[in-house]
Amino acid sequence: MTAGGSHLRTSESQPGAPATTSAPAKGRAYVATIEGFVGSLMMFVGSIGTGWIANGSPMIRQPVVIALRTEGWGVTVSTVLLTVGAMLLIRSWLRLGQRLADWGHRSLRSVVIAVSAWSVPLLFCVPVFSRDVYAYTGQGRLVQEGQNPYEVGISTLNNWFALGADPAWAENRTPYGPYFLWLARGVVGLTGAQPDASVLLFRLLAGAGVLLCVIYVPKLAELHGINGARALWISVANPLFLISFIASAHNDALMVGLAVAGVYFAATRHYFAGILLVTASIGIKPITVLLLPFIGVMWAGPSASWLRRFLIWGATAGISLAVLVISGIPYNLGLGWTWAIMDPTPGYTGYSPSGFLGQQVEMLANAIGLPGGTLATWLRTGMKWTAIGLVLLLMFRGDYPRAVRRMALAFTAVVMLSPIIQPWYILWFLPFLAVTGIRDDWQIRSLYVAVTFFVVFGAQDQLSVWGFVELPIPASSLAFVTALAFTFYLLFLDVHTRKLLIEGRPTDLARRGWQWVAERLAARRAESR
């Protein structure tokens, strides 16, 4: 390998490829940036009335907060602001891509400015779309009090419910790695487990992961002959990334940032640094252990014998495991994180391919007198094993210059064929697909569909509204209708975005995709009733 990375190439996209198949308005990226900033501000205001506030937070005693969370008008306004702000971010992202269509030398600066501007209001939001960040505080308290989060849930803590965590975490072991537990303990040590201060510090940690992506996504893209600005726009500037990793403060942001940095270093012949960075990523969340075999592929070299490949794979795994074993000594954490890989969460989500297909199989089988539940379970199990088979195939077969692409496809297979997919899971592999090329056809349109679906889903599914508040229409229904109305506007009324979403050669495919979005959201609404 060479430091310049000429050994790693893909042909999925060209460096100067336009972002759209239409003739977009060029320049004036600041217009889209300002529009997105307004959307983020709207989300910030809306989060005060519908975001997740811990019971122990002094915020809930503030008059403005009380009005927005207990009065019908306050919840209604907050819901509309949060939803419209999120949808406005989607439009801003699409328009930014159009305005930077030539992806010239100044486009990277424009994307970085947009990411920064859109992130600032989200940095101060009440947590939205998820409240996992409050569970982080509880797990930090467990470590601080000498308990092992791999053995007990946060319900063993005094006054744990005041932390704001979802009760589902009460008895659950943590699936996170030792390094994140170290960080969580540090946050609790600094804040005394005060909920609001803890959220802010966890957001800053997530922001560090976003910053790593901003730095290394363009660099890794250029190694593959892909325009760095476009790759950054696809993977980091998209609203699902910013909402999930900044507003929701998911620790996945740090996991992804370290993984991207590690792959970049490995791709530029700094193999040991790459292994250590990916190991650090595993220490945040173990799923990125999947990347290690492909780091080994890069280390072994293009003409490596099978013996050398197996030796390098063994060395890569050995270095990483040794570091993690040593890292488990503090606080007696051991290798408790391995349960998250060996014993995944049971169940499925209805919008995952595995969950959706399983539901259809179960329904059809039951209709003809067959054991639908059993057949659906077999199907989902088969899809998981198919993902494992694809990972092995991509490890052993494929061109050496496409090692990162093979890794991206393996990561995608594991996530997409899993029975459980949370909205932010697609962000695990998206940067690696972006840096190796996402074509300007059905591929980019599929991303538009996925991002819109998960933003709409989060806007109506994750609202914190007290049951005693009287509303003319339930907040989740109001958010759902508002989001669908905005989606209709983007698809059919907005002369700019409709060119991206449904016009051009893949029209039928795009329309089927948007129809699927509407059907899945409607099904989810029906399930929640």
pLDDT at position 527 over 90 = no
Residue 51 per-residue DSSP state:
S
In this prediction the pTM is: 0.90
Q: Are 170 and 155 in contact (CB under 8 A)?
A: yes
Looking at residue 27, its pLDDT comes to 59
Q: Are 427 and 256 in contact (CB under 8 A)?
A: yes
Looking at residue 11, its pLDDT comes to 40
Looking at residue 9, its pLDDT comes to 53
Distance CA 147, CA 168 (A): 19
Query: Quick one: average pLDDT of 323-331?
Result: 95
Query: Quick one: average pLDDT of 507-524?
Result: 57
pLDDT at position 53 over 60 = yes
* Residue 13 pLDDT class (50, 70, 90 cuts): very low
- Express each pLDDT in 298-307 by its tens digit: 999 998 999 9
Q: Which amino acid is at 419?
A: P
Q: Are 371 and 361 in contact (CB under 8 A)?
A: no
Looking at residue 347, its pLDDT comes to 80
Residue 464 per-residue DSSP state:
-
Higher-confidence residue of 12 and 95: namely 95
Cα torsion 297, 302, 307, 313 to 10°: value is: -10
| Least confident among 175-189, 342-356, 393-407, 463-477 | 342-356
Distance CA 453, CA 319 (A): 40
Cα torsion 86, 88, 93, 95 to 10°: value is: 170
- Express each pLDDT in 202-261 by its tens digit: 999 999 999 999 999 999 999 999 999 999 999 999 999 999 999 999 999 999 999 999
| Residue whose C-alpha is closest to residue 357's, from 418, 412, 413, 411 | 418
Distance CA 348, CA 359 (A): 10
Residue 243 per-residue DSSP state:
I
Please list, in sequence order, all residues whose beta carbon lies within 8 angstroms of the beta carbon of residue 256, skipping any fewer than 6 positions away: 209, 213, 245, 281, 427, 428, 431
Long-range interactions of 2-6: CB distance < 8 A, separation 24+: 2/269, 3/268, 3/269, 4/223, 5/222, 5/223, 5/224, 5/267, 5/268
Distance CA 130, CA 316 (A): 35
Q: Are 126 and 52 in contact (CB under 8 A)?
A: yes
Q: How many residues does the chain have?
A: 529
Distance CA 502, CA 485 (A): 16
Share of the chain above pLDDT 70, in %: 89
- 102: burial class by Cβ within 10 Å (0-12, 13-18, 19+)? middle
Strands (E) in 133-272, as ranges, are: none
* Residue 461 pLDDT class (50, 70, 90 cuts): confident
Query: Quick one: average pLDDT of 314-334?
Result: 95
Looking at residue 134, its pLDDT comes to 95
Distance CA 424, CA 458 (A): 10
Distance CA 263, CA 115 (A): 22
Share of the chain above pLDDT 90, in %: 78
Q: Count CA within 13 A, CB hemisphere, residue 9.
A: 7
pLDDT at position 323 over 90 = yes
Of 156-160, 287-291, 346-350, 453-457, the range with the highest mean pLDDT is 287-291
Question: What angle in degrees, to the nearest 10, is found between the helix axes of 178-191 and 306-327?
Answer: 30
CB atoms under 10 Å from CB of 367, counted, come to 9
pLDDT at position 90 over 50 = yes
Q: Which amino acid is at 362?
A: E
Query: Quick one: average pLDDT of 285-299?
Result: 97
Sign of the Cα pseudo-torsion (121, 122, 128, 133, in order): negative
Looking at residue 517, its pLDDT comes to 58
pLDDT at position 523 over 80 = no
Q: Count CA within 13 A, CB hemisphere, residue 172.
A: 17
* Residue 385 pLDDT class (50, 70, 90 cuts): very high
Question: Whole-number mean pLDDT of the chain?
Answer: 90
pLDDT at position 401 over 80 = yes
Looking at residue 130, its pLDDT comes to 93
pLDDT at position 470 over 50 = yes
Query: Quick one: average pLDDT of 10-21?
Result: 41
* Residue 105 pLDDT class (50, 70, 90 cuts): confident
* Residue 520 pLDDT class (50, 70, 90 cuts): low
* Residue 23 pLDDT class (50, 70, 90 cuts): very low
Cα 31 to its chain centre, rounded Å, is 26
Q: Are 12 and 439 in contact (CB under 8 A)?
A: yes
Looking at residue 21, its pLDDT comes to 38
Distance CA 140, CA 181 (A): 6
Please measure the distance between the N-terminal and C-terminal CA atoms of the chain and give it in whole angstroms: 56
